[in-house]
Amino acid sequence: MITKRALLLWLIFVLVSCAAPTAPTATSSSLKATVTPTSMPASEPVMTTFLDETPPGVEPVVFRAGSVSTGAIELSLVLHPNLRELTFTRLESGKATIWFSQKTDAGWSAPKPADFSGKYNDVSPFITSDGQRLYFASTRPTAGGATASAQYHIWYVEASAGGWSEPVQRMVT
C-alpha cells in the first residue's frame, strides 16, 4: 500500500512540475528593445561599426555588397580571431570555393580564392580560436584516391608565415 501511495505522490509531483507556465512570446517590439545599444551592459563598449560596415540594427542588410556579397551564392562567413581576416564559401558555376579577404591600412582587400581551394568543392570554413587551423569540408580525393569524392570529408590547413599549409584530411580514430 505504501508503495502505491509513494508512486502516486511521485507521479503527481512530476505532472505538476511539468505544468510550469509557458514563457512569454517575443514580439517584434520586444525584440527591438533587446538589440538597442542602451540595453548592453555598461562594461561592454558600444560597437558603431562592424568590419567597416554600419551594424544593420533590426532590419537585415547585405554585407559588403559587391565584394563579399555578389551575384553568386556566398555562405559560411567566419572571422579570424584577430578580426582582420574573413573567410567564406562562394558558390559559382556549380563549384564551391573558399575565399579570403584581409584588412589592411588601406581597407579590406578584394576577396580572392584560397590557394588550397578551387579544384574541388570546399565548403563551411571554421577557424579555431587561436587562428592557427582552418577546418573545412571538401570533396577532394581521400587518402589513396585519384578522383573527387562523392561525399564531403573534413579537412584542415594550418597557418604558416606564407599563408596556409597544404590540406590534410581529418581522420576519425
| Domain map (residue ranges) of the chain | 48-169
pLDDT of residue 45: 52
How open is the CA angle 115-117-120, to the nearest 5 degrees?
150
Spatial separation of the C-alpha atoms in residues 22 and 169, rounded to whole Å:
46
pLDDT of residue 5: 58
Higher pLDDT, 126 or 162: 126
Higher pLDDT, 5 or 163: 163
Which phi and psi angles does 13 have, rounded to 5°? -60, -45
pTM: 0.66
pLDDT digits (tens, 9 = 90+) for 30-45: 333 333 344 444 455 5
95-104 vs 122-127, strand pairing mode: unpaired
pLDDT of residue 111: 93
pLDDT of residue 34: 37
Spatial separation of the C-alpha atoms in residues 165 and 156, rounded to whole Å:
9
Q: Is the confidence at residue 69, as pLDDT, over 90?
A: no
pLDDT of residue 49: 55
Spatial separation of the C-alpha atoms in residues 129 and 81, rounded to whole Å:
6
- R_g of the chain computed on alpha carbons: 24
Indicate left, alpha or beta for 6 from its phi (over 0: left) and psi (-120 to 50: alpha): alpha
pLDDT digits (tens, 9 = 90+) for 118-161: 999 999 999 999 999 999 999 999 877 788 888 899 999 999 98
pLDDT, mean over the chain? 76
- How sure is the predictor about 72, in pLDDT bands with cuts at 50, 70 and 90? confident
Mean predicted confidence (pLDDT) in 110-116: 93
